[in-house]
Structure 1
């Protein structure tokens, strides 16, 4: 499946309705496979949440703590390594096969380095959660999960390297197929290992962790095998002389990818700390938070995929010196994203009870309070769908202009100087509990969305376009 969508350039700087329509079609054509891959990837975690929910609110709450702790660190590494796609595309565009090979190899080196840093941190899950005031029972179960699942860091990051490599070569079909296969494998392994089906032992959360580890090894191995054996990619010899250092490319990946990683990490850490605050409020609050957050994150996969396509579309117009094209690509993506998120907002508001019923048994009296809280959080989550889509769309447009450092600073301020204080004050100090925590999340996202969108609107005045030739 290749993504070679084009839209007519407007070299005279003028634009028309037909240009806007063509741009949006190009965006959707490029973004569709990326969206499907993101949805399939998210389905892995959704399957875990659903099946952990079948064990009951306590297991779901502990699983949420464990995954929130891991994701705080893991997703930063994933975002950093996503820059491999851009570097491979640049080398490929220059006809530099050696540059492609160097980037993939050093991407794998960075994955190893990040894993060596993260493993000792993840092993300390118990003292960290204890210091954060979590319940002893939840800590025991979370530690049981993390001490197994933490070993997925290396294969998971190496999978990102090969996914970026194949994406840059416009081979998205195999990525989608492998991810769909991983979803099926994960569901099967969860059913067997969590609940003791098919003659396997009932391992509950430990079984979920083993399943997740196996699935990540499968995804890495499948893409690596495809990249090494397929006749189109065999010539890159990505594993040849793998031990040979290339510090220049190694540091380039870290230098370019770090701002993106820190920006994503700031948002993920905010949501992880929200889970910690929920854990202080009680098991039902944390379980309800897990359900509502999973609903919101599933919907978020669409604007996330669109934002990746937005970066490409804005970058193409930027490279062509088409100022009107930059505007169409950025604003057109925001319009499409806003339209989708308005739909999910209405869905969350009017069908919140039905959505939370997918995760917790509505016939079990023990789940009544968690269901009630989850439905409330889903409604609030529906409202912040709009600002969540806006911020990721604006960030994608700015990355197309190679603007990553300022958005990272804006994200840090928005999430931690605005979002978390609101969550703490409203949720804990004012005792609005979970509703206050979710209002904090919405406030942080809204700040980042407004500032990033304003930055894109002021791109000319801020000097983000000086290299473009005069129209």
Structure 2
């Protein structure tokens, strides 16, 4: 990799990936800030409310990962279409339209499933009071799934078309909307009733809906985005494009569900370990998820950059884009690992009062979980970016199998055994997370390294790679 990093094309691709990944990673971090405000407000309702909400969020997180996985297939498809022909207006519009169809349809299905969440929580052995409180919260919160799914498609569209800064700005604005909503509805300010968990759910619905409105306004305002007319003739079916999206998107969905299910499943295992451990797990996981958003954004950028080169037939560009993204991801996660090792108590204090005697047990558990979290930062970032670069070359089926094996057989299996059948308890659950992420990361990178054996670019280049790469950067 050293010779490649010294070559001009690689440096150019590194710069292009950074320009695209920066706004996407920042938008992801801001999105986590939206979720964090919910946790901060709910945490002040008490340990039981926090534990109940964590069970609900664990379920909706997996459902949203699966839903967004299917619709996120529009990213490599749009990128490849632009790589083949920069003015692919009709093809991009059809892909985006079918993604929006899937977002609405699958979102409604998710809302229906969440109405039975109390029964599911009881079946997994959760305390009845926690299950009823969490199920009631989720039944209302699930309404936000439809606008959240639509917003994710619109975000992918603007990012693939070279406007990732819109995603950053809109997500930043949504933080303010969510804070005001939580402040008004959870504790009862501005003349509103104090609704507790119900207020947090309503605030999330309002935030998700306003995000969709903001994306629609931004697309209508921007001349380059407006020319695609993605909302024109929205009723027209494109079954061939829908099938293509499902062929790519369902394995992506399976991969994300496997990963999200690992963490959500860990929450349910932790619920059987103890209420304080579950509350600590919720906060520690929120902190780890914040760090994860950067490599996740890098992986999203890599899907677009690799997909563009894949569509244009630039085999060398595919390699440069993929390795550049992996290098950037590893550099950031090294920094986040050091931060978690050096200042875990300071980071934890952003969520709870670490000096309060009532929180002593929860703080102790959370600090031990954050230590394990620091250890697996590199693996977490590597598997996220590697999965993103593989999606760029439209390789999704084998990565899904890798995810199922790594996250569930190796990871969740270890969490259950160490968490429930050894004195390790909650720390054992987190060791299982580390095992799952490390196994998946190793296998995904090996898959990327051997990509020449199983994929063929769409077309053959007729211009030098360097000249084409410089032209490619105009999309960033």
TM-score (norm 1): 0.91
CA contact (8 A) 2:114 2:142 kept: yes
Which residues of 2 match residues 432-471 of structure 1 at below 5 A?
432-460=424-452, 462-465=453-456
Q: Which residue of 2 aligns with 1:180?
A: 172
- In structure 1, the residue corresponding to 2:195 is in which secondary structure? coil
CA contact (8 A) 1:391 1:452 kept: yes
Q: Which residue of 1 aligns with 2:383?
A: 391
**Aligned residue among 241, 259, 263 for 1:267:** 259
Q: Is 1:79 the counterpart of 2:69 in the alignment?
A: yes
CA contact (8 A) 1:285 1:370 kept: yes
Q: Which residue of 1 aligns with 2:43?
A: 53
Distance 2:315 2:223 in 1: 40
Q: Which residue of 1 aligns with 2:6?
A: 17
- In structure 1, the residue corresponding to 2:98 is in which secondary structure? helix
Which residues of 2 match residues 43-122 of structure 1 at below 5 A?
43-91=33-81, 93=85, 95-122=87-114
Q: Which residue of 2 aligns with 1:221?
A: 213
**Shift in alpha-carbon separation, 1:466–1:317, aligned structure 2, 3 A:** closer
CA contact (8 A) 1:459 1:465 kept: no
Deviation at 1:122, TM superposition (A): 0.7
Q: Is 1:141 the counterpart of 2:118 in the alignment?
A: no
Distance 2:305 2:227 in 1: 29
Which residues of 2 match residues 355-394 of structure 1 at below 5 A?
355-394=347-386
Structure 1 stretches lacking a partner, 5+ long: 1-13
Number of equivalences: 457
Q: Which residue of 2 aligns with 1:255?
A: 247
Structure 2 stretches lacking a partner, 5+ long: 466-476
Q: Is 1:39 the counterpart of 2:66 in the alignment?
A: no
Q: Is 1:29 the counterpart of 2:15 in the alignment?
A: no
**Aligned residue among 406, 417, 423 for 2:398:** 406
Could you report, residue by residue, the CA deviation over 1:92-135 in whole angstroms, capped at 9, with x for unpaired residues? 53634333332232222112221232222111010000000111
CA RMSD in angstroms comes to 2.2
Q: Is 1:418 the counterpart of 2:410 in the alignment?
A: yes
Deviation at 1:89, TM superposition (A): 4.1
- In structure 2, the residue corresponding to 1:155 is in which secondary structure? helix
Which stretch shows the higher mean deviation, 129-138 or 20-29? 20-29
Q: Which residue of 2 aligns with 1:281?
A: 273
